Structure 1
């Protein structure tokens, strides 16, 4: 509470306004980007902060509706309320204006919205801790507060625009990296997050295309990129499974190999690739892979014994004996 009172006094906020800040609420001073891919309609939020689990507070999104980043002296309700207003038909600017008008603490808020049509809105209150700013562009907004230097937003915007040929998630990651290179949060790094949603409405259980977070790590942006790459690798595995179902083994193996190339030490990826080879009468290729996997972790052999009962391993009895002999 003493920290809150000191900060509010230093920023010239009246005693009446200070009452709206709760000591239990997060003080998420950070940098973030909200963005939309004009070709796919996908929308994203990327964020990093010296604050625990920043992604659970700052980043909000809904397929077919929009995305929100809410930070500084944070009011998390800007996320769900902003999405509801945009879903009702308000533009990003109209939705943000509506919430700011009703918020007595608007001058310590920093918020950015994008709706599913690409309309962008951003607000940086005059009492956000310096350096604090935002930059709006075509299909994106970058915003930061309590930064070490003045050029964080400019660096984020430049990196996002320069990476226009890449997938949206990678453009957002590039912007976050650029922010950190420009100095980033004056306190350092702790957590980061990336979410991506569809441009069109989706079932609630499929709403987020990507949802990866680093809650506490000395190098959160490096770890966030690793998790994103792992997501991409497992998408290759999923595509391989779908190709296998359609008996397109050439595509399946191309997808599996792409995944394993990204994470060559991942036993899970190696294992299911080998099982797929065995199921498709390519036992000679599968056996050396399985031997290596079983040597690394004997539990994979135990799992293999259980697969025939559920028809996930459909080899002959002799072939099964060869597999288990590895």
Structure 2
């Protein structure tokens, strides 16, 4: 019902320390995907989809926080899941990657794994959806634009390649989440965790929501700059 992307990016903060940011973005031809599929923390990112089991995402992040590697954490969760043949589960942590597509996921289904990202989807128009989403992300992996914006671009590329093939379902949704290991004293930007829950134009609406959130955050920072 879905296609999604999970990524890991290393960067250097303003003090010269090495940090890692994690991001996940997802879209589907059903409402409310942001409440079900994407999970992220300072330890990694996970997407759970196709007969979604939200506990795979929640417990996956908990296992990451306990120090379990992504491959071991998600493998263990699937091993205990009686519905695993109908699941898709993929993600990244600071060092590893994981991607699984069950044998009973709807056609077309599959996943792709890159050096620092995973993409997966089911009930898609074809393999080009994942290939184009992956290529769009790879082309901007070292760019200066915010990760959330670049993940939305990746979703747009997949959507342009056909996306979810169920064209009779017009109510759609999309979401993006970004987390980082960096600790800051300021509030995190409000555009790092965004959802569009019910619309017929999910990617365009998520992009507009992102742009509006960026503007609102910048306006608020300027408004209260004198109070610091």
**TM-score interval for Structure 1 and Structure 2 normalised by the shorter chain:** 0.7 to 0.9
Q: Displacement, 1:208?
A: 8.0
Q: Could you tell me how far 1:209 is from its partner in structure 2? A: 6.3
Structure holding more helix per residue: 1
Radius of gyration: which is bigger? 1
Q: CA deviation at 1:85?
A: 0.8
Task: Output the aligned Cα RMSD.
Answer: 2.1
Q: Paired residue for 1:130, among 107, 120, 124? A: 107
2:79 paired residue number = 101
Q: Following TM superposition, by how much is the alpha carbon of 1:118 offset from its aligned partner in structure 2, in angstroms?
A: 4.0
Q: Taking structure 1 as reference, are residues 84 and 200 closer, same or farther at Cα in structure 2, changes over 3 Å only? A: farther
CA displacement at 1:232 relative to structure 2: 1.0
Greater CA deviation, 217-226 or 38-47?
38-47
Q: Structure 1 stretches of 5 or more lacking a match?
A: 1-28, 247-326
Aligned match of 1:19: none
Q: 1:235 deviation in Å? A: 2.2
Q: State the match for 2:61 in structure 1.
A: 83
| TM-score, length of structure 1 as denominator length | 0.62
Q: Deviations over 1:239-258 (max 9, x none)?
A: 31343335xxxxxxxxxxxx
Asked if the contact 1:36–1:168 (Cα under 8 Å) also holds between the matched residues in 2, the reply is no
Output one character per residue of 1:144-203: Cα deviation in whole Å (capped at 9) or x when no partner: 100012211111110000112132112211110011011000114511111111224789
2:27 alignment partner, one of 48, 64, 78:
48
| 1:51 partner SS | coil
Give the structure with the higher percent strand. Answer: 2
- The answer to whether the 8 Å contact 1:46/1:59 transfers is yes
Provide runs of 4+ in structure 1 moved above 2 Å.
Answer: 199-203, 205-209, 241-246
Q: Secondary structure at the match of 1:32?
A: strand
What pairs with 1:242-261 in structure 2 (closer than 5 Å)? 242-245=224-227
Residue 67 of structure 1: CA displacement?
A: 1.5
Q: Distance in 1 between matches of 2:46 and 2:157?
A: 21
Counterpart of 1:34 in structure 2 is 6
User: What SS does the aligned partner of 1:169 have?
Assistant: helix
TM-score, normalisation: structure 2 = 0.87
Secondary structure in structure 2 of the residue aligned to 1:147: coil
Match of 2:199 in 1: 217
CA deviation map 1:113-158 (0-9, x unaligned)? 211x142111111111111111111221111100012211111110
CA distance in 1, matches of 2:46, 2:215: 27
CA contact (8 A) 1:113 1:120 kept: yes
Kept in 1, the 8 Å contact 2:108–2:126? The answer is: yes
Relative distance call for 1:87 and 1:209 in structure 2 (3 A) is: farther
Inter-partner Cα distance in structure 2 for 1:102 and 1:207: 37
SS at match of 2:120: strand
Equivalent residues, number: 215
In the aligned structure 2, how far is the partner of 1:90 from the partner of 1:209?
29
Note if contact 2:191-2:213 (Cα within 8 Å) is conserved in structure 1. Answer: no
Q: Contact 1:113 / 1:122 at 8 angstroms: preserved in 2?
A: yes
Q: Which residue of 2 aligns with 1:111?
A: 89
For residues 196 and 93 of structure 1, the distance between their equivalents in structure 2, rounded to whole angstroms, comes to: 21
